[in-house]
Structures are given as C-alpha cells and as structure tokens.
Amino acid sequence: MYLKRIELHGFKSFADKSVIEFQPGITGIVGPNGCGKSNISDAVRWVLGEQSVKSLRGSNMSDVIFNGSEDRKAQNVAEVTLVFDNEDRFMNVDYNEVELTRRLYRQNNEAEYLINKEPCRLKDIVDLIMDTGLGRDSLSIISQGNISTFADSKPEERRGMFEEAAGVAKYKKRKLESIRKLERTKDNLDRVEDICLELEKQLSPLKRQKEKAEIYVDLKNQLQSVEVSVLVKGIESLSTSLKDLNQSLDLLDKEKVTIEGQILINEQQNESLKKKMFDLDQEVNALQGKLLTAMNNVNQLETQKVEIDANRKHILETTNKEDLQARIEQLKAILQDAISEYNDRVHRYNETKEEKMTLEAAQEKNRAQMNNLRQSIENLNLQLHNDRHRKEQLVDLIENKTGYSYGVRSIIKAKDSMQGIVGVLGDLLETAPEYETALSVALGSAVQFVVTKQDEDARNAIRFLKNNKSGRATFLPITTMKERHLREEHLLVCQNTKGFLGVMSDFVKYPQEIQRIVDNQLGHVIVADTLDHASLLSKATFARYKVVTLDGEVINVGGSLTGGSLKQSTSLLTSKRELELLVEKIRQSEKDMTQKKAKLNELDNLAREISHNLLQKQMSFAKLELVVTNKKSELQIAKSEYESLTHQSVELSEMEKGTENNHLLQELNEAKKIRDRLTESIQAKRELRMSFVNENDQLEDALKMTRAHLREIQADMTQKQVDKAKQETELNNHLQRLNEEYKMTFEFAKEEYSQEVNMQKAKEEVRLLRHQIESLGHVNLQAIEDYQEVSTRYETLNHQRLDLIHAQDSILKAIDEMDEIMISRFSETFEKINHEFNIVFRNLFGGGKAKLKYSDPDNILETGVDIDVQPPGKAVQNITLFSGGEKALIAISCLFAILRVRPVPMCILDEVEAALDVANVERFAKYLREFSGQTQFIVVTHREGTMEECDLLYGATMQQKGVTKLVSVKLKDAIDLAQNAS
C-alpha cells in the first residue's frame, strides 16, 4: 500500500484545486520558507483525523480554509482527499483504491467525512487506518517539532510511538472503551440497585392491595357472570313478553278499530233507520188520510152502483116477458159494466206486472252495484293492509334503524351513554325530492357514517364496538375533518358549461355544526342534469371531481362511469318522505273506505226497500190475477145471459163501445184503483217500517253487545299497555345496566354469557355477592396493575442487575485479557526496538551505545520509556543535555529502529533532519534509501543530501502571493536529460 495522490482545494494556501501525484520510494518537497510546503503534511494529518487545531498551526479549525489574499477571495470550504493504492489489501477493505476525504464549511464549521465518496463518520476512518501505521500518533507523520521534543519529552509521552509500533493501539482503545463501558455499567448498576431497593419497599403494600383487589375482581367477575346472565335472561324474557304483548295489542287494536267501525256503521244505520221510520210514519199518516178519502169516495160510488144494480134487478124481476126489450137493455147494461170492470182489472194487472218487472230490474241493478262496491272495498282493504305493513317497515327503519349496519345500530342504541355522538350523516341531511337520488349516490356508503364532535369520541366509539364485538362503523369527527371545495377556476368553468346545476352541498339542509362534514363529503361533488352534460363537466375539470346526475349516474374521479337502473328500494334519505306520503295515502284510503261503506249501507237499505216493494207488488199481482179471473167469469156469465135472452152472439168489442157513457162505473173503478194502491202502499210501508223496527231492535241489541265488547277490549288494552310500559321500563333498565355498569351490548352479552340459570337462585347469589363486595370496603383496583407493573419492573431491573453484574465481570475479564495481550506485544516489540536502536545509533553516531528502558518496569501497561545513550567519546549523561543536532539524531535513530521492527507503508518527514550536519544528513539519507523499498517516504526538506536521495521532487512556490503552486521533477529524468545534453 502507498499514497498515490493528494487532492487539495481551499486548504490553507492551496486556493486552487491541486493534485500531487506520488510513487513508491522517496518523494521530496522543497521550497523556500513560507511557501506552504508543510501544509501538505498538515493536510494528510487533517484527513487522518487530527482534531487539535494547535497541531495544525491554527487557533480555530476554520483557519484551515483558504482565508484569501490581496488578489484572491477567501474560500468557503476546504477539502482534502488522500488516494491510497490498496491492491495488497493492507487496509481491511475490498477496494483496490481507497479515497479518504475530509471537507469543512466556513459558514457553520460543519465537517464531512467520506470513504470512496460515500459519507461516513470520523470513527470509520480512524477504525480503517488503525494498526496500519497511519495513525496520528504513529510514525507516519513526523515533523521537526516532534524530533526536537522527542528527547525532551517525558517517558510517558514517548510511549505512544512504541504502542503504535507494537500494534496495541486498538487494544488500548478497546480497553479505554471497555473502561468507559465498565464505568457506565457500574453507574447503571448502582442506579438499578437503588431502584430495586425502592421497588422492594413498594411491593409489600402493593401485594396486599393487589390480593384484595383480586378478590374484589374475582367476586366482581362472578357477579358479572351471574348478573349478566340474569339480565340476559330477563331481557330475553321481557323481549318475548313484549313481543307477545305487542302482537296482542296489535290484534286488540285491529279488533278495536273494527268494532269501533262497526259501531259507527251500526249507529249510522240506527239513525238512518229511525229517520226512515219517522219518514214512513209521516208518509203512512198522509196516505191514511188519502185512503180514508178514497174509501169514502168508493163507498159513495159503490152505494150509487148498488142502487143502480138493485134498480136493474128490480126491473128485471118485475118486467114480464112482454117487456123483453127492457130486460135486454138492463142485461146489456150489466154486461157493459162487467166488461168495463174486467178491462179495468186487466189494465191494473198489466200495470202491476210492469211495476213488478221494474222493481225486479232495480233489484238486479242494486245487487250488481253492491257486488261491485264490495269488490272495491275488498281491493281497497287489501291495499290498506299493504300500505299499513309498509308503514310499519318505514317506522321500524326510521325509529329502530333496521336499514343501518350492525355497528351503526349498536352506536345509536348506546348513544345516550357515549360522549360526542352527533348522529348518522344520512339522518342529518335533507334535500328536495328531485335531488334525493343524486344525493344518495353522491354519498354512497357515507350515508351511514357516524358524525362525532371530537376525534377522541370516535376512538372511544371504536373501542366500544371492538370490546362488544358489535361490528364496524366509519366515523367523521367534526374537529378533524378538512373541508373540500371546487377550485375557483374549475367552478368558473363549470358555471359556464351547459348542464351544470351546482355543487351537491348547496342542495342540502343540515345543522350548522356539521358544515365541515358536509363540505368534506359533498363540497367537491358536481351535480349535472344529464349524463352527457356530466361527461362534459368531468372533461372540463380534468376528471378531478365526482359528477352525479339527477337520475343517479356517476362519473368518478379519474373518469370511470357508474350507471344503469336503480333498485326500487327505500333509501335512508327518502324513507321519511315516503312515510309522510304513505300516511296521507292511508288517511285518504280510510276516508274512501268510510265513504264506500256508507254507500254500501245506502245500497243495502235501498235493496231492502226494493225487496219489500217487490214483495208487495208480487202479492198485489197475485191478488189481481185472481180478481181478473173472477171478473172474467162474471163477464162470461153476463154475456151468456145476454146471448140467451137475445138469441144472438155478442162481440165484446162491440159491447165495449156501449160502456163509454158509464161514467159512474169508470169513477168507481178509478176510485177502487186509487184505494187499492193506497192500501198497498200503506201496507208496504207498514211492513217496511216493521222490518226497520225489527232491524233497529237487532241493531240496538248488537250495539249493546258490541259496546260491551269494546269496553272489555279497551280495558284489556289498558292493562296490557300498563304491563307493556312496566316491562319496557324494566327492559330499558336492564339494557342501561348492561351498557353503563358492564359496558356491554345485549348482543355481546347474549353471545358471551347466555347460559341456563335458575332465576331465583341466581338473584339470591347476586345479593350475596354484592354483600361480599361491599364488605371489602375501599378497593384499589389500580393496585393489580401497579403491582404487576412494579413487580415486572422489579424483575426486569433485577434481571438487568444480574446482567450488569455479569457484564461487569465480562468487561473486567476482557480488560484482563487485553492487558495480557498488550503486555505481551508491547514487551516483545519493545525488546526488538531496543536491540535495533543500539545498532542504528552506533551506525549514525559512528560508535557509542544506546538502549531503551522502562521508567516503571513493574507496570508495563502504563510505564514510560527512557532513553539511555552514550555517544562515542562522551560519558553517560542526561539526554536533555545533548545538543539540538544530537537530540535530532537520537530521535532519528529511534525512528529507524522502530521502522526496522515494524515497517509502515508511508511516512511523512517534515524537515526532521534540519538540525543535522552534512555528514549526518548523508547518513540519514542513506537510511531513507535503505527503507524506501518497504516504506514510502514523503520528505519535506531543504537539505541537499536528502534531495539527492529523492526519486521525485516537488518544488513549492508562491508565484501569486498567498497561493501555493507545486512543480514536479523526477531526478532520474533530470540526470538523463543532463547527460544527453553534455
């Protein structure tokens, strides 16, 4: 290994970047005083880790940075790089060439170190060159000052050079590190022992408190296991009972509504019947007056006709055969009356038949109308049933949150016992119907996100869900959410684009406190009227925002599209509006149902009236049919008598002509017709009234029974509602107990603590456990954790104490081992150097003797090194009394002795031979040449004898004041050139 080159830039007098190339052998650097040649050795020492500013001939580390001159500005950074050839892997690194760089900045006095241009620490460089002979305390860099002070140094100060030569520097460094580590270990051990002693004092009382707390916890766990099981069973029982009660109440309520409706209908029918009965009584009274008048009229006419008939009979009986013509006239009159009466009865018969047929048609029409109305009522009733069922679903969705996820429902149920829960985002927003679809797709799953006041509230809610295994939920803390809006330029573009309706947050109503949430979720969502316009808006904003349409299509961030038909399911946002519309629809349907039932009742009453009238007409028709038959017989008898008397056939049609003048008979027939119609009408109305009376009596009886039944139902409902309120209160108490005391949801408790228990025994066990817990008095539950913490800490520290004791022993053992190695290596190397020192000394001084000895032979690790020399012709005396040249030669002798024992790859000698005379310089130069095969020498000199032995010379000059320049000359090339010139 050797130094290939030095690169300097901004270091001391090297203002410009300078590269000094070296080669194996001896390189000399010459120049006048003050030209900066010694700055090269300072640069090498600086890179190798020199931290002493005084050793670098400065007062501050920034003094190594070129400070400027009359013509040059100061530099802001100093940088030096040493490049070593490492093909022999003398340095323990896998590189053929090793670059060591140090850089210093003037601004903050900050230093940088690099190995092969990679940043590193100073320690890395020191570790790399350790025991290579390049250390700052080694023989690699020796200046004139080192030489001059070597002889005058204290023995302990000389030891470092010998340690470096012996290769024990790394062991000494490790020993120092071990000693410092041992001191730290001892300090740690003392501190740990103090802490362990203090913890031992705390453990005893904490143990007692812990044992008491454990008893409490055990009793509390037993109580929890039993009481939670009791609560679970109680909740299940109450839930089942409430379910049954609700079903019973629903049935009773339906029955109540039915009965109340029936009562209302019956009361309406009753009132209607009474009114009809009153109207019938009025009509009958009026008809009776008319009937009396008609009967008097008939009686008068019948009396007149009887008188006429009697007169006719008298005439027939008293008229003799000679008065045949008179008799014929009388018979003819009788026959004409018979014809008239027969025709009248036939006419009335036909009229009654037509009226009967009309009533039958009316009856059939009424039946069809009633059937259609019944079908309509049945359809409306089915629709009402479906609407009420849907209403129950919506109420359940809104009140019980059945459309929410399990985690969200759990949070809502436990809301009262938790801090900072504002509500579910979907429940907090309202919008116009035309924007509901757009809002739903804009929010997506966020419609079920839970809004909280603080971030801590959300974390507590998540812990609640996790502890109770109650599912998952997403939370939106108001304080931590960031508002998101359209950028102003994008908003301006949107406002000028066709189809832009606005930003989604502008179309919703919400509590003011959640404005940040709304802006975060909807403040950057664009609303468009159609998908085509939405596509234009997305392109205009470079697909950076979500765009939704009124029909629910979405263009997502990035440009992907979502669309198609939406499921006809109730959105959480539309459920309230749907419920309002459904309630109004049910109300209108119930109103229509009442009207249809009233109409059906009217048709039913009309049907009864038609039925009674038809029955009367059928009876009148039957009577008239018999009367017509009798009148026809009478007519045949009268005709026979008349024909027998006149001995000629009579055509009734001819005879009818003779009846036109029989006004009395016509009046009588008309009077009887009026009388019979009045009689029939009165009879029909009396029978109808009687049926109304019977129906009214039945309705009165039914109403009494129905009202009694309604009172029973109301009493039963009242009792069940009282029971329901009690059970709901008890159920809520159980659930609140679970939530507040045990921090559990019912679902979690049911899953973890559901077991068969005897409720009576369990309740007694709960009472006993509570008594035992109360008898414990004050319990410090923290003691369990504190004891565990203190105990664990004590055990850990005690284990650390043992580890520290073991580490202390290990460090002491390692120090002893390193001491043995250092003693062995130092002693061995010292003896070899001592042997070589005498030889070199004799050669340099031309005789005499020299030796090295320990200043403290009993302490090889700390002993200094004394030098005992006797130049030829001089008595042994104190080394400090030698001349400067002699001291330098002694120091150089020691240097060469060390090099004989421990060669180094490179050595920089900075004017070390300056104090020698010419003869000694020559001897010094010859020794350099002797060692140049194994050590690279860089010699800063101005002595000719030394220059003659150099393979390469660098001349240092200052052509520009304050700036060093180097010029190289190979002596071999120069000699060859001189010889060729001669």
Could you tell me what percentage of the chain is helix, strand and coil, using 3-state DSSP and rounding each to the nearest 5?
65, 10, 20
Question: Residue 963 pairs with which residues in a beta bridge?
Answer: 960
Q: How many CA atoms lie within 13 A of 393 on its CB side?
A: 14
Q: Is 145 a known ligand-binding residue? A: no
Please choose, from the candidates 912, 910, 907, the residue with its C-alpha nearest in 3D space to the C-alpha of residue 931.
907
Dihedral over Cα of 634, 640, 645, 648: its sign: positive
At which residue do the structure tokens 């757009």 appear? 438
For residue 982, how far is the Cα from the chain centroid? 97
d(C-alpha 713, C-alpha 327), whole Å: 86
Q: How many CA atoms lie within 13 A of 857 on its CB side?
A: 3
Question: Residue 65 pairs with which residues in a beta bridge?
Answer: 11
In this prediction, the residues of the chain whose per-residue pLDDT falls under 70 are 131, 133, 135-139, 145, 148, 224, 298, 301-302, 304-305, 307-345, 348, 398-403, 565-574, 612-622, 624-628, 630-670, 752-758, 875-878, 970-982
Specify the 3-state DSSP secondary structure of 570: coil
Please choose, from the candidates 875, 867, 866, the residue with its C-alpha nearest in 3D space to the C-alpha of residue 848.
875
d(C-alpha 304, C-alpha 302), whole Å: 5
- CATH 3.30.70.1620 boundaries in the chain: 404-571
At which residue do the structure tokens 């950076």 appear? 544
Q: Note the pLDDT of residue 661.
A: 41
Q: Note the pLDDT of residue 461.
A: 87
Q: Note the pLDDT of residue 830.
A: 87
Q: Is 857 a known ligand-binding residue? A: no
Dihedral over alpha carbons 755, 759, 763, 769 (to 10 degrees) = -30
Q: Show Cβ contacts of residue 342 under 8 Å, excluding neighbours closer than 6 positions.
A: 628, 631, 632, 634, 635
Asked if residues 818 and 861 have their Cβ atoms less than 8 Å apart, the reply is no
DSSP of 125-159: HHHHHTTTT-STTSTTEEEHHHHHHHTTS-HHHHH
What tokens does 217 get?
A: 């916890």
Q: Note the pLDDT of residue 526.
A: 93
What tokens does 443 get?
A: 């929010």
What tokens does 529 get?
A: 């009227």
Q: Is 36 a known ligand-binding residue? A: yes
Q: Note the pLDDT of residue 78.
A: 93
Asked if residues 253 and 724 have their Cβ atoms less than 8 Å apart, the reply is no
Q: Note the pLDDT of residue 833.
A: 87
d(C-alpha 435, C-alpha 424), whole Å: 19
Q: Is 34 a known ligand-binding residue? A: yes
DSSP of 318-334: H--GGGHHHHHHHHHHH
Question: Residue 870 pairs with which residues in a beta bridge?
Answer: 849
Dihedral over alpha carbons 200, 206, 208, 209 (to 10 degrees) = 180
d(C-alpha 626, C-alpha 797), whole Å: 132
Q: Note the pLDDT of residue 289.
A: 76
Please choose, from the candidates 477, 478, 476, 483, the residue with its C-alpha nearest in 3D space to the C-alpha of residue 520.
483
Q: Show Cβ contacts of residue 182 under 8 Å, excluding neighbours closer than 6 positions.
A: 808, 811, 812, 815
Task: Name the packing angle between helices 169-318 and 759-775 (round to 10°).
Answer: 140
Task: Count CB neighbours of 963 within 10 A.
Answer: 19
d(C-alpha 400, C-alpha 402), whole Å: 6
Please choose, from the candidates 975, 898, 906, the residue with its C-alpha nearest in 3D space to the C-alpha of residue 938.
906
d(C-alpha 742, C-alpha 880), whole Å: 91
Global pTM reads 0.43
Please choose, from the candidates 59, 78, 98, the residue with its C-alpha nearest in 3D space to the C-alpha of residue 16.
78
DSSP state, 63?
G
CA distances from 232 to 406, 562, 756 (A): 19, 46, 10
Fold of 404-571: Alpha-Beta Plaits (3.30.70)
What tokens does 675 get?
A: 């009388």
CA distances from 571 to 408, 553, 881 (A): 16, 16, 109
d(C-alpha 833, C-alpha 827), whole Å: 10
- Kindly state the greatest CA–CA separation across the chain: 233
Task: Count CB neighbours of 255 within 10 A.
Answer: 15
What tokens does 543 get?
A: 């697909």
- Phi and psi based region of residue 817 (left: phi greater than 0; alpha: psi -120 to 50; beta: remaining): alpha
Asked if residues 521 and 492 have their Cβ atoms less than 8 Å apart, the reply is no
Q: Note the pLDDT of residue 658.
A: 44
d(C-alpha 911, C-alpha 225), whole Å: 94
d(C-alpha 645, C-alpha 489), whole Å: 129
Asked if residues 50 and 105 have their Cβ atoms less than 8 Å apart, the reply is no
Q: Is 35 a known ligand-binding residue? A: yes
d(C-alpha 145, C-alpha 85), whole Å: 29
Task: Count CB neighbours of 658 within 10 A.
Answer: 14
Asked if residues 475 and 450 have their Cβ atoms less than 8 Å apart, the reply is yes
Q: Show Cβ contacts of residue 904 under 8 Å, excluding neighbours closer than 6 positions.
A: 132, 133, 134, 138, 139, 140, 935
Asked if residues 345 and 625 have their Cβ atoms less than 8 Å apart, the reply is no
Q: Note the pLDDT of residue 981.
A: 42
d(C-alpha 710, C-alpha 721), whole Å: 16
d(C-alpha 449, C-alpha 453), whole Å: 13
- CATH 3.40.50.300 boundaries in the chain: 1-138+951-982
Task: Count CB neighbours of 42 within 10 A.
Answer: 23
Q: Is 37 a known ligand-binding residue? A: yes
Buried b (16+ CB within 10 A) or exposed e, 293-330: ebbebbeebeeebeebeeebeeebeeeeeeeeeebeeb
What tokens does 307 get?
A: 């008188």
pLDDT digits (tens, 9 = 90+) for 361-375: 877 888 888 888 878
d(C-alpha 737, C-alpha 731), whole Å: 10
- Taking domain 1-138+951-982, whether its CATH number is 1.10.3720.10 is answered by no
